[in-house]
Structure 1
Amino acid sequence: MNFTFIDTNILIYAHDKGQAGKYKIAQESLQQLWETDTGTLSTQVLQEFYSVATRKLKPAMSHREARDIVAAYGEWCVMNTDTQLLVSASMLCERHSVSWWDALVIEAALRSGATTLLSEDLQDGRQFGTVTIRNPFAGD
């Protein structure tokens, strides 16, 4: 089965109605992953989501609402950020000239066994080992 790793920005757009076009695409992407039970993510993604949703969204999401979303997507959480992930991500960051935060997401996607990483922040079609980056908003 092919799993898809979700970056924080996709999760945020799926809950940000102020970004109408991206909201719809992100919602549809996540819905398809729920239906096929092929979505995956990491504790880092859930931590970042909670922080952005409760502080940066306009209007900000309530703590309770953000907590409920984190709990729901916790079903997909297969990767915890541990020391080895940090070390591996630092090498990936250095080797591929990607940001530290992106390297953490990429490394978590690799370790999760995902074949696709949905992200707006990385080049659509770029590959890192067995993971291919897909930007669901490319072509908008």
Structure 2
Amino acid sequence: MSAEAFLDTNILLYAISSAPAEQAKRTTARALLAAGDWGVSVQVLQEFYVNATRGPHPAMNHADATAVVEQFMQRPLVVTDPALMRTALMVKDRYQLAYWDAAIVAAAQQLAATVLYSEDLNAGQDYAGVTVVNPFRV
């Protein structure tokens, strides 16, 4: 299981956004989804589901969000297991990241991705072969 790119949660969330202020990000996110060779982790899908269905005006209802998650599960998918957690802890220590960010980096590494698309991590940073790209930065 491998993919050229790993998508962070925010990419998936922008892809479903209907907010007028996020139209450009939605277009960019959808282009990344259509591009093909990408994967995610179970953590990313969990974060996507929670954020897509919460709040007084959720972007999606449970059934729709579940259907989207099922589609995303067809992509290369990294599961959280003891080995991934150990790697995440090493990444956290080496790069001084928050644990959840380190788990994203560790999942991208496990997927053998060379690019990690995210607006939350330091764009341009190389994490042992995985380079962060902020696709929304102009």
Q: TM-score, normalised by structure 1?
A: 0.90
The answer to whether 1:28 aligns with 2:28 is: no
The answer to whether 1:8 aligns with 2:9 is: yes
Which consecutive residues of structure 2, in runs of 5 or more, have no partner in the other structure? none
2: CA distance, partners of 1:58 / 1:20: 18
SS of residue matched to 2:136: coil
2: CA distance, partners of 1:49 / 1:40: 14
Q: How does 1:28-47 map to 2 (within 5 A)?
A: 28-33=31-36, 38-47=37-46
Query: What's the C-alpha RMSD, in Å, of the aligned pairs?
Result: 1.6
2: CA distance, partners of 1:119 / 1:7: 5
CA gap 1:132/1:22 in 2 versus in 1, 3 angstroms: same
Which consecutive residues of structure 1, in runs of 5 or more, have no partner in the other structure? none
1: CA distance, partners of 2:121 / 2:86: 21
SS of residue matched to 1:51: helix
Q: What is the total number of aligned residue pairs between the two structures? A: 135
1: CA distance, partners of 2:94 / 2:129: 16
Write out the 4+ residue segments of structure 1 that deviate beyond 6 Å after TM superposition.
none
2: CA distance, partners of 1:89 / 1:50: 22
Alpha carbons 1:16, 1:57 under 8 Å: kept: no
SS of residue matched to 1:48: helix
Percent of pairs identical after alignment? 39
Structure 2 match to 1:97: 96
